Amino acid sequence: MKNFSTSLFSAAILACLLSSGCAVVPSNRQTINLNGTWQVAQGSLKSMPKAFEHTVPVPGLLDMASPAFKSPGSTLTPAQQALPWERTYRVDPLREAFWYRRTFSVDYPQADVVMLKVHKACFGAMVFVNGRKVGSHAHNFTPGWFNVKPFIKTDGSDNELIIRVGASLAQVPSSVCDGWDYEKNRYIPGIYDSVELIVSKTPHIVNLQTAADLDAQLVRVTAEVSNGGQVPVGATIMATVREVRSRRIVGRSIGTIDGMLPGVTAKCNATVPIKNPRWWTPEDPFLYELTVDTGADTCKTRFAMRTFKSDPASGKMLLNGKPYFLRGTNVCINRFFEDPKRRAKPWDRQWVRKLHRKFKGMHWNSLRYRTGFPPEMWYEIADEEGFLIQDEFPISYGGWKSGTMDGWPDQILATDLIREFTEWMRERWNHPSVVIWDAQNETPNDTVIAAAIGKVRKMDLSNRPWDNGWGSPQAPGDMSEHHPYRCSPKPPRAFKLSRFEKETGLPNAGPKKGARPPYIINEYGGLWLDRNGKPTTLSKPVYHSIFGSKATPAQLSEYYARTVAAQTEFWRSKRKCAGVMHFCGLGYSRKGGQTSDNFTDLNELTFNADFEHYVRDAFSPVSVVIDMWKERIDPGKLLQIRVKVINDLEADWRGTVTLRMVDSNGKAVLEGGSRVLVKGFASDSADFKVQFPDKISQCQLIAEIQGPDGQSVRSYRKLQIAPPPKKKPAAKPRPKKRPAKRKR
């Protein structure tokens, strides 16, 4: 096998193409989209239904069927939710499986390759074509590939395709990750991502992987090419790079793979120089398209000139070689799947794009797709809109198993997990948005998961960092993930903002071992309100400890937003974390839910007004922070208050920091200003002497700057001016009762 661009013959052809502009060999690949309305029926695992009397959209879930099935998606009992490692889930009493059916035609008699790709299906997929079993794919979150060539008619006549999925978690093999999440009640089955047919001649392309080299101004390509023919062949391969927007060709490379043996898949490495490459960033998400053509098959993938690495010494992440701070949120798609108002939104491209743009409007540049992979379309939109994705595999097996927090199911071995991780990475590695492989959530397992990470990480030519959740970082530069929920309903840990006076800015918490830079906070807060403004099951006792039972929805809304904003400012201002990610941007809002997102209208994607007002400023790339965490001040107190300015941008920021105090009526009682210069990627501060009023009252401090876009950015602190509460006298110890005399 020869490298692309190595033979004189290839170089001559390439020179001809570049000088004359002659056309590339036309594609011999057909990709047939099988999305749409399918027939569906319920039944047993072993017996195919005789009639299909319902329809359902693909992609979608089975609660979208018409006419509706009764209660698709089994609900777990509290005991099953608490003991994930036992894998003894309740069987759906109404059915074991759902069977999907549709017909399609292929008019390509000379086709050598016909592959069916089921992008994602729960729970597992078994495929039948024209009444014959093709095979099965047990994994729930990665693509299933099926060779249907021996079973299919390619002369343009109809073919019947049937796909069986399990009806509940009970149908998931014990060695397969099932996406268990202690907050989920319903696990709704369905083919929830696209289905397509890939038809071509051979030699054909099995997979492409790209890796940008910014210094050399080229992209490295590894093409896996398979020969499905009966005789050895010499394959001519051309790699072409275009700009996605303009369709302008900016690079080509051509070469040969000599003497490929029948039935062999070979790797061919290529380098394609790119003229004047434009680097991808969230602020400028510029995309390229790579086309690799064997003359018999053509495969395309999008990519970007983008690198993402970590710098453990500084604790920062490096995007294209420069420091870059992650400011973002979480998307919990598996929880959203059971949201009462979900409907078809996850598969509506316009809605998903609007969602990501709404996130951009909060100054978020990063997302964690948490404990569940959304449809492939979401990653395409993240590439286009400019987000850095922490892609988290759906593992969350925390729990008190054998006296530890490690709830890992013993049935899943490292070899099992390696197979799932491999499928995951091969599907995702060309997306410029995907910058962190996240192996799991809140599972302090350093055996099976660690072994799987060690085995697969070298497959990624871009060498992205890994995050091992609550397990130990597995290599220098891997992320150290933390969830500093600083809230409790009970003294002495009852939630108060003043507790942040004692925080160092290092988010060490929980059972995580071996924590080291770079640190990332991808969950914090813990004071959730549902979309109706009511506390969730987890936050209700916290709010009760603060307000009692008489707080109005308006009070709760403002308190939540102010507090989340202040916590965001705290963690960002300490500059010890590479990323700060709010929890959560999209989840569920349901009766009995433990957490929630911050929308009030899912159709229009309207945020709670207080949340948007306060929290948006806290995530501004150039942000201001009142570095004061007290909630009460003595009357007449003179304090020096520091106001910080955080600059996440490369360019220096220069401007005026103002601090003013307003009374309970909003009237300004004092105001001051100070000029500040903040270097790129740094922070600086201004100090103000503030004289507080002599009488008991409430006041508010407001710090303000003008951001680089000319918009005002503010930080707020509400304060009670009052003497310290009197300590209650210690209760006198009760005298011990003398034991009664026993009667003789």
- Counting DSSP H helices and E strands in the chain, the numbers are 10, 42
Topology of domain 624-721 in CATH is Immunoglobulin-like (2.60.40)
> Please, what is the average pLDDT of the chain?
91
Q: Could you report the per-residue pLDDT of 693-723, keeping only the tens digit for each?
A: 999 899 999 999 999 999 999 999 999 999 9
pLDDT surpassing 90 at residue 739: no
**CA 690 – CA 312 distance, rounded (Å):** 39
Pick from 500, 521, 625: which is nearest to 583 by CA? 521
Q: What's the CA gap between 39 and 286, in Å, rounded?
A: 40
So what's the pLDDT on residue 268?
Answer: 87
Is the pLDDT at 542 greater than 80, yes or no? yes
CA proximity to 194, closest of 163, 220, 167: 163
Q: Is residue 736 pLDDT above 90, yes or no?
A: no
pLDDT of residue 237: 81
What pLDDT score does 15 carry? 39
Neighbouring residues of 149: CB distance < 8 A, sequence distance ≥ 6: 111, 112, 113, 114, 115
> Nearest to residue 336, comparing CAs of 380, 371, 387?
371
| CATH match for 8-24+201-306 among 3.40.930.10, 2.60.40.10, 3.40.50.11390, 3.90.1720.10 | 2.60.40.10
Residue 638 dihedral angles phi and psi, to the nearest 5°: -105, 120
Q: Using one digit for the tens of pLDDT, what is the confidence trace for 550-594?
A: 899 999 999 999 999 999 999 999 999 999 999 999 999 999 999
Residue recorded with tokens 């070899």? 415
Q: What is the band of 456 on the pLDDT scale with cuts at 50, 70, 90?
A: very high
Provide the pLDDT for residue 27.
56
- Report the pLDDT averaged over residues 495-517: 83
Whether 442 shows a pLDDT value over 70: the answer reads yes
The tally of CA atoms less than 13 A away on the side-chain side of residue 432 is 27
Q: Do domains 8-24+201-306 and 624-721 have the same CATH topology?
A: yes
pLDDT at 3 over 60: no
Q: CA–CA distance from 236 to each of 257, 289, 644 (Å)?
A: 7, 20, 60
**What is the pLDDT averaged over residues 462-477?**
95
Q: Which of 249, 212, 180 is nearest to 24 (CA)?
A: 249
The DSSP secondary structure of 5-48, one letter per residue, reads T-SHHHHHHHHHHHHH-PPPPPP--EEEE--EEEEEEEE-SSS-
Q: Which two tokens stand for residue 175?
A: 């060695």
pLDDT of residue 500: 92
Q: Does position 131 have pLDDT exceeding 60, yes or no?
A: yes
Are 470 and 511 spatial neighbours (Cβ–Cβ below 8 Å)? yes
Task: State how beta strands 288-293 and 265-273 pair.
Answer: unpaired
Position 496 scores a pLDDT of 86
Rg (CA), the chain: 29
Q: 309-619: which CATH topology?
A: TIM Barrel (3.20.20)
Phi, psi of 727 (to 5 degrees): -75, 135
End-to-end CA distance of the chain: 104
Q: What is the distance of C-alpha 354 from the center of its chain?
A: 17
Name the residue with tokens 């380098």. 271
Element (H, E) at 267: strand 265-273
Q: Position of tokens 């060498």?
A: 463
Q: Residue 577 class from Cβ within 10 Å (0-12 exposed, 13-18 middle, 19+ buried)?
A: buried
pLDDT of residue 713: 98
pLDDT at site 507:
87
129, β-bridge pairs: 132, 161
CA distance linking residue 59 with residue 333, whole number of Å = 14
| Size (the chain), residues | 744
Which pLDDT belongs to residue 732?
Answer: 66
Distance, CA of 147 to CA of 668 (rounded, Å): 73
More confident site: 324 or 6: 324
Helix axes 414-428 and 448-456, enclosed angle (nearest 10): 40
pLDDT tens digits, residue range 335-360?
A: 999 999 999 999 999 999 999 999 99
The 10s digit of each residue's pLDDT in 223-232 is: 999 988 776 6
The pLDDT value given to residue 487: 82
- pLDDT, residue 50, reads 95
272: phi then psi, degrees, rounded to nearest 5: -120, 105
Confidence of residue 493 (pLDDT cuts 50, 70, 90): low
pLDDT digits (tens, 9 = 90+) for 640-662: 999 999 999 999 999 999 999 99
Q: What is the pLDDT of residue 727?
A: 74
Residue 262 is predicted with a pLDDT of: 79
Q: Beta strand pairing status for 519-521 and 144-147?
A: unpaired
Q: How far apart are CA 85 and CA 96, in angstroms?
A: 22
Domain edges within the chain: 8-24+201-306, 30-200, 309-619, 624-721
The answer to whether 546 and 562 have CB atoms below 8 angstroms apart is no
pLDDT in tens, 593-647: 999 999 999 999 999 999 999 999 999 999 999 999 999 999 999 999 999 999 9
Contact of 54 with 40, CB cutoff 8 Å: yes
Residue 76 has pLDDT above 90, yes or no: no
pLDDT given at position 342: 97
* Residue 602: both structure tokens together: 């899912």
**pLDDT score for 550:** 85
* Distant-in-sequence, close-in-space partners of 316: CB < 8 Å, separation ≥ 6: 310, 323, 324, 325, 518, 578, 681
Which one, of 120, 99, 98, 104, lies nearest residue 36 by Cα? 104
Residue 646 has phi, psi (to 5 degrees) of: -105, 130
Across the range 494-500, mean pLDDT stands at 85
| Separation of alpha carbons 88 and 168, rounded Å | 11
The structure tokens listed for 69 are: 């099935």
CA dihedral of 407, 412, 417, 423, whole degrees rounded to 10: -110
Q: What is the tens place of the pLDDT at every residue in 159-187? A: 999 999 999 999 999 999 999 998 998 99
3-state secondary structure of 514: coil
Question: What are 32-62's pLDDT values in tens digits?
Answer: 999 999 999 999 999 999 999 999 999 999 9
Counting residues of the chain whose pLDDT is more than 90, the rounded percentage is 78
- Sequence-separated (6 or more) residues with CB below 8 Å from residue 400: 407
By three-state DSSP, how is residue 458 classified?
helix
The continuous run of DSSP H or E covering 207 comes out as strand 204-213
Q: Which CATH superfamily is domain 30-200 in?
A: Galactose-binding domain-like (2.60.120.260)
* Amino acid symbol at 444: P
Q: Quick one: which of 711, 714, 359 has its CA closest to 569?
A: 714
Q: Which residues, including other chains, have CB under 8 Å from residue 450's CB and lie 6 or more apart?
A: 468, 471, 472, 474
Is there a contact between 204 and 224 (Cβ–Cβ < 8 Å)? no
What mean pLDDT do residues 121-130 have?
Answer: 98
Q: What pLDDT sits at residue 399?
A: 74
